[in-house]
Amino acid sequence: MGRDRDFTQLGKALGAPARSVFLNLLMDGARRPAGELARAAGVSASTASEHLAVLVEAGLVTVEVHGRSRRYGLAGSQVAAALEALGALTGPAPVSGYRRSRQMERLAAARFCYDHLAGRLGIALADAWAEQGWLADRAALALTDAGADGLRGIGVDVDGAIAARRPTTRVCLDWTERRDHLAGALGAAVGRRFLAAGWVVRHASGRGLDVTDAGRAFVRRTWGVDLNA
Amino acid sequence: MGRDRDFTQLGKALGAPARSVFLNLLMDGARRPAGELARAAGVSASTASEHLAVLVEAGLVTVEVHGRSRRYGLAGSQVAAALEALGALTGPAPVSGYRRSRQMERLAAARFCYDHLAGRLGIALADAWAEQGWLADRAALALTDAGADGLRGIGVDVDGAIAARRPTTRVCLDWTERRDHLAGALGAAVGRRFLAAGWVVRHASGRGLDVTDAGRAFVRRTWGVDLNA
DNA sequence: GTGACGTTTCGGCCGCTGCCGAAGTGTTCG
DNA sequence: CGAACACTTCGGCAGCGGCCGAAACGTCAC
């Protein structure tokens, strides 16, 4: 009787196409009403409702009631981390020259992964910060004193991130690039700062991001990162 | 068509009790013949064979043919990492005083998580190393120069771990304790050293470990870690 | 070669699950 | 208060998936 962790319920919850679409949509950390999710997945409202009930039952998703609308969202950063880890497994390794749709290409450039920056932007930042001694180790991404000062200097709530209940820094393996980037409470704080400062803007819907001209200039000026490369 | 990562196949693969048992058994990184897995899960050989084919198809498991026996094992450390992340989600947080079977208690004390030490032993080591400056940061577990020297001094193949293709250090969230411990190539190197030196021994089957008297004395002498606490 | 053995493939049964449309519940708006 | 709306629950259908035993396959031992 050596079974100690039962993946059955989680697996069943993940194992339906419509639910997979829902989770992907919710990976940006936003809450969405049931109807929007139903439309996005191409199923009827009743079917979507049943799917959402399954996800809630499995603990992957939580609901907030807003009047006659119900907003569904991921149950927490741990869920997002698990989905990222799982996502890193699916599909073959991205061989160079693999053809991508324009949509995928935009996602690969910059996006939110639940609450922190990901895509090539996230990786470039982690690279630069490791290079310049703001993070101690490219593999582990530990925050140094210099890094704490530097991030405070650009308006990131470093102390809030350190005080948070979740781990301050955490590595997250990128889906598209297969490289690590910064997650955890600090990653979330950086993401909030980038949005607030207007260095990135959200796509109309979903977790895609566009780096603004101001953002592009800022990262080049501050860390010498050239995002057009 | 915003779906970019499809969890359906992985989810279906995880969503059967017998397969969950298989994966749990394989979490120690060992390969096992189909028959043994069938017996452990309480299903017929034919059923087990079908399940294993599903797991292979999903990329979670690989086979090695040894004569007329076939040994199944996890497809890599990324799979183990994803399963750990998923496992951290299941079940309620371990409220204090929660009753555990003796089997579970032994697993909670020390075990292999795919290829690195986990359980209270793994956490105690991470704590001690962070405390003593061998790892830069309890949250990120970045290896310091002092840590590299120290681990080399006790016979851990630090340089091999640094040169490895996978990340040198990585944090892994413990199932039972909900705390981070050291994984990645360095975690694996530490695990190999602990086994080779006889500081831990494997249980008869599965991923459980017993810390030997020599191991207990060693960790107390070297880092002041008292495992009886 | 022949027989034993570990594993896979096949056929068939049963139950679960996804899907929908219709009806029901609760909320907002006029 | 009643109609419109967002969502959930219910009933019913179709198909998939898990299970087994029987048979086929490949390998090892003698």
How far is residue B178 from each of residues B27, B88, B162, measured CA to CA in Å?
A: 17, 7, 27
**Statement to judge: residues B125 and B48 lie in one domain:** no
In contact, A72 and A32? CB cutoff 8 Å: yes
Which residues in chain A have Cβ-Cβ distances shorter than 8 Å to B88? 78, 82
Q: Which one of B16, B40, B75 terminates a domain?
A: B75
What is the predicted pLDDT for the residue at B97? Answer: 42
Q: Give which of A3, A4, A113, A143 to mutate to test B binding, by max B Cβ within 10 Å.
A: A4
Which residues have a Cβ under 8 Å from the Cβ of A8 and sit 6 or more positions away? B14, B15, B16, B17, B20
Nearest residue to nucleotide D16, by CA–C1' distance, is B12
What is the predicted pLDDT for the residue at A54? Answer: 92
Which residues in chain A have Cβ-Cβ distances shorter than 8 Å to B86? 7, 10, 82, 85-86
Instruction: Please give the mean pLDDT across all residues of chain B.
Output: 84
Count up the domains in chain B and report the number. Answer: 2
Residue range B148-160: mean pLDDT, rounded? 94
Which residues form the domain of A136? 101-223
What is the predicted pLDDT for the residue at A13? Answer: 94
How far away is chain A from the Cα of B19, in angstroms, using its nearest Cα? Answer: 8
**Statement to judge: residues A203 and A127 lie in one domain:** yes
Q: In the beta sheet, which residues pair with residue B170?
A: B183
Long-range contacts of A130-139 (CB under 8 A, 24+ apart): A132/A223, A135/A169, A135/A182, A136/B136, A136/B137, A136/B140, A136/B142, A136/B144, A137/B136, A137/B140, A137/B142, A137/B143, A137/B168, A137/B169, A138/A180, A139/A171, A139/A180, A139/B142, A139/B167, A139/B168, A139/B169, A139/B170, A139/B184
In contact, A212 and A155? CB cutoff 8 Å: no
Which residues have a Cβ under 8 Å from the Cβ of B218 and sit 6 or more positions away? B197, B199
**Statement to judge: residues B190 and B157 lie in one domain:** yes
**Statement to judge: residues A126 and A70 lie in one domain:** no
Q: Give which of B137, B144, B182 to mutate to test A binding, by max A Cβ within 10 Å.
A: B137
How far away is chain B from the Cα of A128, in angstroms, using its nearest Cα? Answer: 17
Query: Cα(B129)–Cα(B138) distance, rounded to whole angstroms?
Result: 9
Question: Is the residue at A110 inside a domain?
Answer: yes
**Statement to judge: residues B115 and B29 lie in one domain:** no
Question: Is the residue at B85 inside a domain?
Answer: no
Which residues in chain B have Cβ-Cβ distances shorter than 8 Å to A86? 7, 10, 82, 85-86
Flag the least confident range among A56-60, B25-29, B166-170, B179-183.
Answer: B166-170
Query: Cα(B42)–Cα(B25) distance, rounded to whole angstroms?
Result: 13
Which residues in chain B have Cβ-Cβ distances shorter than 8 Å to A20? 3, 5-8, 11
**Residue contacts between A and B (CB atoms, under 8 Å):** 204
Q: Give the residue from A31, A210, A212 showing the smallest Cα distance to A107.
A: A210
**Statement to judge: residues B68 and B171 lie in one domain:** no
Q: Give the residue from A79, A10, A22, A24 showing the smallest Cα distance to A48.
A: A22
Segment A144-194, tens digit of pLDDT: 899 999 999 999 999 988 887 677 888 887 767 778 889 888 999 999 999
Q: Which nucleotides of C are covered by protein (CB under 7 A)?
A: 5-11, 17-23, 26-28
**Statement to judge: residues B56 and B106 lie in one domain:** no
Q: Give which of A36, A137, A165, A174 to mutate to test B binding, by max B Cβ within 10 Å.
A: A137
Which residues have a Cβ under 8 Å from the Cβ of B9 and sit 6 or more positions away? A15, A90, B57, B58
Of A8, A87, A175, the CB nearest to B15: A8
> Which residues surround strand C, with CB < 7 Å?
A 12, 15-19, 42-44, 46-47, 50-51, 54, 67-68; B 33-36, 38, 45-46, 48-50, 52-53, 63, 68-70
Q: Which nucleotides of D are covered by protein (CB under 7 A)?
A: 5-11, 17-23, 26-28
**Statement to judge: residues B147 and B187 lie in one domain:** yes
Segment A204-228, tens digit of pLDDT: 655 678 899 999 999 999 999 998 7
For residues A19-54, one letter each, b for 16 or more C-beta atoms within 10 angstroms of the residue's C-beta and e for the rest, the string is bbbbbbbbbbbbbbebeebbebbebeeeebbebbeb
Beta strands at A111-113 and A69-74: parallel, antiparallel or unpaired: unpaired
pLDDT at A103 over 70: no
Segment A79-93, tens digit of pLDDT: 988 998 898 887 543
Specify the CATH number for the domain of residue B51. Answer: 1.10.10.10
Residue range B61-78: mean pLDDT, rounded? 89
